Amino acid sequence: MHSGLEYKEQNLHFGGQSLQQIAALQETPFYIYNSQSILSNIEAWQAASDPDRHHICYAVKANSNLAILQIMARQGLGADIVSGGELLRCLQAGIPANRIVYSGVGKTAAEIALALEAGILLFSVESRQELEQINECARRAGVLAAISMRVNPDVDAATHPYISTGLTENKFGIHHDQALAVFQMANRLEHVRISGIGFHIGSQLTSLDGFAAAAQKVRELIPQIESECRLELEWIDCGGGLGIQYNAEEPPAPADYMKLMDQILGIPGKQLAFEPGRHLVGNAGLLVSRVLYTKENGDRRFIICDAAMNDLIRPALYQGYHAVYPVTEHGDPASWNKADLVGPVCESGDFIARQRPLPNLQAGDLVAIHSTGAYGFVMASNYNSRMRAAELLITPEGDLHLARRRETYADLIRGEQLL
């Protein structure tokens, strides 16, 4: 059983709260996050870091709820953002602009202008054309834009192909063969200041090998760049990607990962940025759903619940595994038979778990879908005109906080106009 969960009198509790009781008050499906678990994840990174040299910039894309961002802000974390929307959320939650790094291959001129106005720490540049755009936006704003070049090291991260980002075939970063030339180009631009170099090779990495190979390639580029461009890089951005345990994975601990990065890239005088997303929040969240019906097609057993691919797309998109716990204890898991836990969306790809040993659940029973704190709600949609779920947060004090109410029909049609 994942940590933070326990059965008390046969009722599943999360962060000390009875899910049965919460579901009596809150319409399902809903997400619920546990602050304590987020705080202990943050602590694992902070305990292993030297605050004068290591900077943890939470990857907002993993879970951008304002209350979650507030927790990050209060713990002194910076942020890694990928859009103007994420920037505004961070500022609203109290993350200082000068601790924000901005990644992504398609920053628009309007987004760049917004980030310059806010005064972010640096832009992670992903192409020559983007570099020119940043230079132009900075010229117009009358400021100097601090940039870091994101290098694509052509390293296999050994993860699902859709979340691998450090290979030549991926759209991300500047190919390592071209990195020096792009640094030289940046050096000639008047309105940018070269501040660093970075990489990010993928997400849900469960081995240190890919990180080491990428860091090594970047390490080799640094002296070349510094001598050819006659400058000193101040920042090295190690990206995110540290995996979590969904099923039987055994991902490295933050301390081991940081130690490795320090061994390869800990150059005196340079600051290291880390951008964990999933690791900080993934295992701190559940999606709670209620069974609507059960049925059998031949020998296939289906359990139809009220959460669907619009609420959690990871199983459909990446064959993602999420542990499913019955909220009321149902005997020995060894006695369970296989079933498909599916949602109401009209797609055969709409499943939460496929051919998974599950108890004899009946209509009205609740299930808790684990490890959904990262890339869960943030990837939710209104497909099939389904309202997006509520997000609850168990606060550090142990209170239940409605971090986002469930959508209503009015939310669903907001912005639309009849002919």
Q: Looking at the annotation, which residues are catalytic? A: 346
Pairing of strands 78-81, 300-305: unpaired
In whole angstroms, how close is the CB of 171 to ligand LLP at the nearest point? 11
Q: How far is the CB of 294 from ligand LLP (least distance, A)?
A: 28
Residues that bind ligand LLP (CB under 6 A): 59, 61-62, 80, 103, 163, 165, 200, 203-204, 239-242, 275-279, 314, 318, 374-375
Rounded CA gap, 130 and 145, in Å? 12
Rounded distance between C-alpha atoms, residue 230 and residue 223, angstroms: 10
CB of 12 to ligand LLP, least distance (A): 24
Minimum CB distance to ligand LLP smaller for 19 or for 242: 242
DSSP-assigned states of every residue in 244-303: --SSS--PPPHHHHHHHHHHHH--TT-EEEE--SHHHHGGGEEEEEEEEEEEEETTEEEE
Beta strand 30-34 pairing with 285-297: antiparallel
**Could you tell me the smallest distance in angstroms from the CB atom of residue 419 to ligand LLP?**
37
Our CA dihedral for 256, 259, 264, 269, rounded to 10 degrees, sits at 150
> Is residue 171 within 8 Å of 124, Cβ to Cβ?
no
Task: Report the residue number, 217 or 301, with the smaller CB distance to ligand LLP.
Answer: 217
> Residue 325 forms beta bridges with which residues?
368
One-letter amino acid for residue 362 of the chain: Q
Length of the chain: 419
β-strands 54-59, 366-370 pairing: unpaired
The radius of gyration computed from the CA coordinates of the chain, to the nearest angstrom, equals 23
Closer residue to ligand LLP (CB): 275 or 306:
275
Does the bond joining 29 to the residue before it have cis omega, within 30 degrees of 0? yes
58 contacts 282 by C-beta, under 8 angstroms: no
Based on CB atoms, which residue is closest to ligand LLP, 4 or 276? 276
The nearest distance, CB 72 to ligand LLP, in angstroms, is: 13
As given in the structure block, the two tokens for residue 117 are: 């106005």
The sign of the dihedral angle between the CA atoms of 254, 259, 262, 265 is negative
Q: Give residues with Cβ within 8 angstroms of 259, minimum separation 6.
A: 48
Nearer to ligand LLP, 274 or 365 (CB): 274
Helix, strand, or coil (residue 102): strand
- Residue (of 149, 250, 252) closest to 210 by Cα position: 252
Our CB check for ligand LLP shows the closer of 138 and 374 to be 374
Q: CB 303 → ligand LLP: shortest distance, Å?
A: 23
62 or 155: CB nearest ligand LLP: 62
For 14, 35, 241, 304, 334, the CA distances from 245, given in Å and listed in that order, are 17, 18, 13, 26, 21
CB of 293 to ligand LLP, least distance (A): 28
- Residue 92 CA to its chain's centroid (Å): 19
CB of 333 to ligand LLP, least distance (A): 26
Residue 378 has which token pair?
Answer: 């943030």
For ligand LLP, give the closer residue by CB, 326 or 377.
377
